[in-house]
Amino acid sequence: MNQPVSPGTARARPLWMNLIGGERRPAADGRTLDVLCPSDGQPFAAICRSGPGDVDVAVHTARAAFDGEWGRLTATERGRLLVRLGDAVAARTDELGELESRDTGKPMSQGRADAVAAARYFEFYGTAADKLHGETIPFLNGYTALVVRDAHGVTGHIVPWNYPMQIFGRSVGASLACGNACVAKPAEDAGLSLIRIAELALEVGFPEGALNVVSGLGEEAGAALAGHPGIDFVSFTGSPEVGTLIQAAAARNHIGCTLELGGKSPQLVFADSDLDAAAPVLVKAIVQNGGQTCSAGSRVLIERRAYDDTEFAFIRRSREGGNP
């Protein structure tokens, strides 16, 4: 959680600066945002309130990396770096979990679990990096048609506050594996773990500029990133309303986009269900992560003759606690 503050107000708290081209940089105009602990509403850190100029620098830095050292690496070399990053994240699950917990309000156990999941994403994409093959297509006699998979170039990633590390891992991890250079904009409410993971990427050997993180408000830094003419693809997870704006910005620049906009996932209960086994799952699917999950099972469709028994089991389990 955050609120705008003046640069002087934030000095008593650590300022988590943008990471651009391997350097920690403040916002060009010095503006910051307080980072508030959700449990007590008290500020414990500050982030940069970046603007279009900061985003522009990050995008051009990513382009230089794509055209330079990062773009010259082989798929095998990229994969090895991603596996190293996964190992570095896995070795710091307590540190990252505590950071995520304080930033988002999650229990420590869930913060650690998110760090473990992020590490697995980097490992998965690292081992898949050299297995993205093209195709050979039958054609005319004496001719061979080939499909070669090339990187987009510079990709933008707008990451939400409910699962910062996990979504960062599966979005940025996939993009880096394919050879793109990345600019990520974390949610202004929770993004410290992303900055820390970007620092770890540098520590394990990623070239400067391959992975950049710029913090700030969605309507300022996020909008600037989505609409930047130097971005070749954009990924967004968040609300349908903002997703519409992202899609429109991508269309104006004639680039592709990936949108994950949540949903209302149904759970089905039939009369022959084992309600003792089903009730913990029904409750957990709704309440996990404070209910802030894109696949939350927030609709329960029940066969009519099982309704009363399911309602009783659901209420009882809710009172006992949602975890199995």
Q: Within 10 A of 208 (CB to CB), how many other CB atoms are there? A: 18
For residue 287, the enclosing domain spans 266-320
Same domain, 164 and 301: no
CATH number at residue 172: 3.40.605.10
Q: Within 10 A of 131 (CB to CB), how many other CB atoms are there? A: 9
The neighbouring-strand residues paired with 3 are 34
Q: What is the pLDDT of residue 286?
A: 82
Mean pLDDT value across the chain: 91
**Least confident span in 66-80, 141-155, 227-241, 276-290:** 276-290
The neighbouring-strand residues paired with 287 are none
pLDDT more than 90, % of the chain: 74
What's this model's pTM, rounded to 2 decimal places?
0.87
Average pLDDT score over residue span 3-32:
78
Same domain, 196 and 295: no
In angstroms, the CA 154 to CA 36 distance is 32
Q: What is the pLDDT of residue 40?
A: 86
Q: What is the pLDDT of residue 84?
A: 98
For residue 5, tell me if it sits in a domain.
Answer: no
Same domain, 185 and 203: yes
In angstroms, the CA 292 to CA 289 distance is 6
Domain end residue (candidates: 242, 259, 276): 259
Whether 66 shows a pLDDT value over 90: the answer reads yes
For residue 39, tell me if it sits in a domain.
Answer: no
pLDDT by residue (tens digit) across 259-297? 999 777 888 999 999 999 998 988 888 887 777 777 788
For residue 42, tell me if it sits in a domain.
Answer: no
Q: What is the pLDDT of residue 3?
A: 44
SS3 category, 125: helix
Q: What is the pLDDT of residue 6?
A: 36
Same domain, 252 and 289: no
Domain end residue (candidates: 218, 237, 259): 259
Dihedral of alpha carbons 78, 79, 80, 82, sign = positive
Same domain, 95 and 153: yes
Catalytically active residues, by annotation: 260, 294
What domain count does the chain have? 2
Q: Six-digit token pair at 154?
A: 């510079």
Same domain, 251 and 124: yes
Whether 11 shows a pLDDT value over 60: the answer reads no
Helix (H) or strand (E) holding 255: none
Q: What is the pLDDT of residue 10?
A: 40
Q: What is the pLDDT of residue 28?
A: 96
Q: What is the pLDDT of residue 302?
A: 92
pLDDT by residue (tens digit) across 92-133? 999 999 999 999 998 999 999 999 999 999 999 999 999 999
Domain end residue (candidates: 216, 239, 259): 259
